[in-house]
Structure 1
Amino acid sequence: MAWSTRELAELAGTTVNTVRHYHRLGLLEQPERRYNGYKQYEVRHLVRLLRIRRLADLGVPLAQIGAVSAGDDNTPDALRELDRNLQASIERLERARADIAVILRDDAPVDSPAGFAAVASRLSEADSSIIHISTQLYDEDALADLRKMVESDSGAIGAELGALPADADEEAKRFLIERLAEVLTQNLLDYPWLSDPVPHLSKSEHVTQQTFVDAVVELYNPAQLEVLVRASVLANEQARVVREARRPAE
């Protein structure tokens, strides 16, 4: 029995282009041709193609299939690495499914920051953008704490900050600064690493600082930016006073 390229591909559950691609990579040997020039594949070609497809289905990269199928000394290590990659993919997919479930349950924005779907509805556009950026700059422990901070906040201050016009008067800004400082002070006390985040950064300190500076300047209007800066300064001072008061007398 001899098969054409199309017939071989159909038997193996793949495509003619895939068969040709395997030929180009040297994974599948070229068959002899009939008198009319058409290829004629034999059982050994079908079996080889099925074995290639099996390894590809397992996730073995095409570049490694030749060595893995030959069973060289590196095959066990290659399979262990593949298994680790598959486990990471499974975990990523499980997180994605969990996030989708929360998005559907809470009718949250589809593009909510990863892991923040449950609280996304209370975030302003600017705050959501900052959290998106934070997911690339902080480690998982820091992001878990950030989620707790957002969960403990009713969202009222964030909404007021988001509605603050660029030409807000001093009274409006001062009122918001005092309220925001209270929240920031408590966060500094509850999560001491906020005062020294370097151990929790996934990028360099310089890249992190510059990214946040660029982000807040672009995402917040001048009045909002002033409130953020002044509230941060006030919160750090208030947190320092509380820590000193808590410190045992020497």
Structure 2
Amino acid sequence: MRIGELAAAVGVSTRTVRYYHQVGLLPEPERSASGYRVYSMRDLVLLSHARRLVELGLGLDEVRQVLADEEGRDLGEIVASMDAALALQQERLAAQRRRLAELQERVRDGRLALDDLPDPQLVEFFTRVEAAGATGPMARLDRDVLAFVPSADASRWIAPMLPLLGDEDYTRRLVRMYDEFDRLADVDPDDPAVAALVDRILDLLPEESLRALSEHDLVTAGGEFLVDTVIEELTPAQAAAARLLIERTRAPHTVTQEENEE
């Protein structure tokens, strides 16, 4: 098969396939007499596996190592391992959905409190932030989301901010950030205020928080279902800001699906 057929079968762009060749993620296939790459079923399986590993949050070096370890395995073994990995992911997503359904019910009933947060550092962070004045809808939604995300991930994002709360100016900026996010409810999603707020949020996050987010972002930690559920709670401008923030905190080495070439 040709590169376009391979890319379409896996659900990526031809640019992504070429990039994977460039960084050594996928071996270069044989070429036809006319110079076109000719791909086999093994290439299809390896590309599919590479895409899945990237989606799960592995860095390209880690993906390269996994694929290199599998060069000597037959296709049946690789497909079986992929199937097992997907089964585990399905179980994890099912557990997350059950947890989210429980949280949604508790939020509707007004029963979700600080003590429901999964990590003492999160409890401390939101206790101090709320005491400083961040009590609006966005601060509560942020707290509710982090109650659902695995505690190890949530604390890696939040813990570096705790020492900064001793700085009154930093705390005021943080409270103002939540207030400004609430005020986006009344603006158009194309308003420059959306991107400006995302810039201020990124400026507020310590380097350690940004690194933790880039290595294991909200989509990876909570699943697309969580992100979709959160987006539904927001106004169009707030949703645009949330999507932009997620996009800008993703790992720079993560390859996303690009536009197909003409």
- Place the TM-score, normalised by the shorter chain, in its bin: 0.3 to 0.5
TM-score normalised by L of structure 2: 0.37
Q: Tell me which of the two structures has the higher relative contact order, counting C-alpha pairs closer than 8 angstroms and 6 or more residues apart.
A: 2
When Rg is computed on C-alpha atoms for both structures, the one with the higher figure is 1
TM-score of the superposition, structure 1-length normalised? 0.38
